[in-house]
Structure 1
Amino acid sequence: MSNAILEQNDEGVICVSGTLGFDHVAALLLASEPFFAGQADLAFNLNSVEKTDSAGLALLVEWMAMAQRSGQGICFQEIPEQMLEIARVSGLDGILPIV
């Protein structure tokens, strides 16, 4: 399993890649903090996420809370099917801002 990585592309979209699991999300949460210090709305693209579990979904929920506290809009693009299934089972699929 590869570590999770955040990279902002030229359009301002934050691309998430690697594994979003229990062993990786704490470091990813810390790495994401600078994005929540601005005023711009945030878009996270999860197309390159290789594997995820409920910790990955918890990370998305925490990012939503951080965006709300900082007054920023947030959306998630290309969420992996594995994560969508976890969201459906947990009842979170209706609150995730998926585009």
Structure 2
Amino acid sequence: MSEVVLEQQPDGYRVRGELSFDTVAQLLGRSPVHGAQLRVDLGGVSRTDSAGLALLVSWMREARHAGCDIRFSNVPPQLLAIARVSGFDRLLPVAAP
């Protein structure tokens, strides 16, 4: 089974591993949303699919309800392509590099 890890960092969180249908369940219930601002570094994601995008959208929804400004950095090209095809690319809060 593939694995995905959510690691706390000094400036937010880092996701490492595969973010896919096989792994997103490992992160359900482990929302990183807290505080006024949150940065989630996706640079450690090795592979993703639409389930990965669904997880990010879920975190975005939680952040909005909590009044938290969430930003994703180092978004893999594969995830950006999925977001573009599904129309979420305009809604995905991507941090400047």
Query: TM-score when scaled to structure 2?
Result: 0.90
Percent identity at matched positions? Answer: 49
Segments ≥4 residues shifted beyond 6 Å: none
In structure 2, what is the Cα distance between the partners aligned to 1:39 and 1:13? 10
Partner of 1:50 in structure 2?
46
1:97 counterpart (87, 93, 96)? 93
Which ranges in structure 1 are unaligned for 5 or more consecutive residues? Answer: none
Which amino acid is 1:49 matched to? V
Number of the residue aligned with 1:5: 5
Which structure has the highest strand share of the two?
2
Q: Which has the higher helix share?
A: 1
Q: Is 1:72 matched up with 2:71? A: no
Gaps of 5+ in 2: none
- Of residues 52, 58, 72 in structure 2, which corresponds to 1:62? 58
Distance 1:66 1:26 in 2: 16
For residues 31-71 of structure 1, give each alpha carbon's deviation from its aligned partner in whole angstroms, at most 9, with x where no partner exists: 22xx32x3231100000100000000001100000001111
RMSD (Å), alpha carbons: 1.3
Letter matched to residue 17 of structure 2? G
Aligned residues: 95
Letter in 1 for 2:21: F
Q: Aligned letter for 1:81?
A: P
Aligned to 2:15: 16
